[in-house]
């Protein structure tokens, strides 16, 4: 960290970086971009970073994420669909969680199902993570698989409790690690799930070049925002954070340093509000001077939301979260209302194979659209919806271009956009997703993402592996 003891940010010189096609040096001072030119001479005591002729971009903004849920998932990963769809993804999820934990901490995963990831026993788990106790809960909730260290820790591996009913053994009489109906017994012997680690989330997003996020959780109480505000104040979350909150918080101000975003309204199959309620919530948000962000993932859900907007009217900044199915007739109404859509291109990759199997064929061509929306003049912002999607926006960018599922099947290729356009989904400001691109200019906040190569090269195969350095208000995040 490059803050002096007084908390002021010392100045920093980024040498040989490419800004909008121009090779320049960039001076960052006191949290903002102080100068752009070439050459700039280092001031006495100034930190100099060699940019290696890599592209310097505004930091990425993820327009829809859930920070606390992501932090929880980081330490106790959900290893069922849609996060994990096969054995390889199970491996990745468990190993990733392993690296996020401290020495000796238990790794607990939930949501496992053998039909997705294959059969699991202590030996397979040992091969994945050997150095710490691991417990994996079956989707049913009533079965667990423990690795050898975990079995030893609870006294089940040749220990005093090995003969308990519910402890499975193979033909050779060995404890397999599969336990049934022992939740209460295990609960008394295993440590409780670890507290969510928001600092790990902050570091991870920083490594992706993310300098801002909009937390789209429809929290019902300001207390729910406390942990995020505290983590942001400590610097554990170095990103600029905009929060939504549900209709009950329409008139409330979030705790500093969180910025107030739109009011989040949920129109879901499991929570379909009445038309009158929706109209009332939209009206109340607008009265408080706030736009709304309406969760719409089905065709009827979008139609219901549009009917409510017909009656309540539209405020600049009103937006549709997901817009998972937008057929042409509804698209025209979205455009006519001037509504924004915040999409998750990454779902095409992560959930696409399931969509191809399960979504109504009539809806498939209109699934997670992007290009058709932009062509209709609808502002489109990009997001990951992590932890429900992978938190790496570069994966979403690559998928917005490729439109392929994990198994490689094309899905809605007519909705593909050019790589620059896909990147732009993440370069707009939190209050105008899909609006004007933020730029690297003198006077702008030094929220920056330095790549290790020219932009054209990176966009040939978009990947967060190209993020060399992220600056949060001029302060360096962890180096990649």
Q: Which chain residues interact with Zn ion by CB under 5 A?
A: 216, 385
With vertex at residue 20, the alpha carbon angle to CA 14 and CA 21, rounded to the nearest 5 degrees, is 90
- Quote the least distance from Cβ 275 to Zn ion, whole Å: 23
Residue 207's H or E segment, with its range, is helix 198-207
Q: Which two tokens stand for residue 116?
A: 């997705």
CB 428 within 8 A of CB 61: yes
Q: Which is nearer to Zn ion, 294 or 397 (CB)?
A: 294
Integer Cα distance of 90 and 134 in angstroms: 13
- Quote the least distance from Cβ 127 to Zn ion, whole Å: 34
Q: Which is nearer to Zn ion, 386 or 475 (CB)?
A: 386
Q: Which is nearer to Zn ion, 325 or 416 (CB)?
A: 325
Q: Which is nearer to Zn ion, 51 or 218 (CB)?
A: 218
- Quote the least distance from Cβ 247 to Zn ion, whole Å: 16
Closest to 121 (Cα-Cα) out of 59, 169, 85, 49: 169
Specify the pairing of strand 60-65 against strand 448-451.
unpaired
Q: Which is nearer to Zn ion, 132 or 322 (CB)?
A: 322
Chain residue whose CB lies nearest Zn ion: 385
Q: Which is nearer to Zn ion, 106 or 347 (CB)?
A: 347
- Quote the least distance from Cβ 295 to Zn ion, whole Å: 7
- Quote the least distance from Cβ 219 to Zn ion, whole Å: 12
Integer Cα distance of 390 and 204 in angstroms: 12
CA atoms within 13 A on the CB side of 32: 6
Q: Which is nearer to Zn ion, 73 or 107 (CB)?
A: 73
- Quote the least distance from Cβ 232 to Zn ion, whole Å: 19
CA atoms within 13 A on the CB side of 2: 24
Integer Cα distance of 19 and 439 in angstroms: 9
Q: Which residues lie below 8 Å from residue 214, measured CB to CB, with a gap of 6+?
A: 61, 62, 63, 64, 65, 241, 242, 243, 244, 261, 383, 430
- Quote the least distance from Cβ 285 to Zn ion, whole Å: 18
């Amino acid at each position: 960290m490059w803050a002096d003891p007084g908390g002021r940010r010392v100045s920093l010189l980024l040498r040989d970086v490419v800004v909008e096609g121009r090779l320049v040096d960039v001076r960052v001072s006191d949290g903002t971009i102080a100068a752009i030119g070439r050459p700039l001479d280092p001031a006495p005591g100034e930190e100099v970073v060699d940019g290696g002729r890599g592209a310097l971009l505004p930091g990425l903004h993820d327009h829809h994420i859930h920070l606390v849920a992501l932090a929880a998932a980081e330490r106790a990963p959900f290893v069922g669909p849609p996060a994990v769809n096969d054995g390889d993804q199970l491996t990745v999820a468990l190993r990733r969680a392993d690296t996020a934990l401290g020495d000796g901490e238990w790794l607990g995963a939930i949501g496992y199902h053998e039909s997705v990831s294959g059969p699991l026993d202590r030996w397979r788990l040992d091969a994945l993570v050997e150095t710490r106790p691991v417990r994996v809960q079956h989707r049913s909730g009533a079965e667990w698989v423990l690795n050898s260290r975990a079995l030893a820790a609870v006294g089940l591996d040749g220990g005093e409790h090995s003969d308990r009913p519910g402890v499975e053994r193979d033909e050779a009489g060995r404890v397999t690690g599969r336990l049934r109906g022992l939740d209460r017994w295990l609960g008394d012997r295993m440590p409780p799930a670890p507290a969510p680690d928001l600092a790990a989330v902050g570091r991870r997003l920083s490594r992706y070049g993310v300098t801002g996020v909009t937390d789209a959780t429809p929290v019902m109480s300001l207390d729910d925002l406390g942990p995020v505000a505290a983590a942001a104040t400590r610097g554990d979350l170095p990103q600029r954070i905009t929060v939504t909150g549900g209709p009950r918080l329409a008139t409330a101000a979030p705790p500093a340093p969180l910025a107030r975003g739109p009011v989040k309204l949920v129109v879901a199959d499991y929570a379909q509000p009445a038309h009158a309620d929706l109209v009332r919530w939209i009206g109340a948000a607008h009265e408080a001077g706030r736009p709304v962000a309406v969760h719409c993932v089905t065709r009827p859900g979008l139609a219901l939301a549009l009917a409510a907007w017909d009656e309540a009217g539209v405020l600049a900044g009103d937006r549709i979260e997901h817009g998972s199915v937008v057929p042409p007739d509804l698209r025209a109404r979205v455009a006519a209302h001037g509504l924004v859509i915040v999409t998750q291109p990454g779902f095409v990759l992560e959930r696409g194979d399931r969509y191809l199997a399960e979504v109504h064929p009539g809806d498939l061509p209109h699934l997670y659209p992007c290009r058709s929306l932009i062509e209709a003049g609808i502002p489109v912002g990009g997001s990951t919806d992590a932890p429900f999607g992978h938190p790496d926006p570069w994966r979403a960018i690559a998928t917005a271009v490729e439109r392929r599922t994990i198994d490689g099947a094309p899905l809605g290729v007519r909705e593909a956009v050019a790589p620059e356009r896909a990147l732009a989904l993440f370069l707009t400001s939190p209050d105008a997703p899909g609006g004007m691109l933020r730029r690297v200019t003198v006077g702008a906040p030094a929220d920056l993402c330095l790549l290790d190569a020219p932009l054209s090269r990176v966009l040939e195969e978009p990947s967060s592996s190209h993020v060399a350095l992220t600056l949060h208000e001029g302060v360096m995040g962890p180096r990649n």
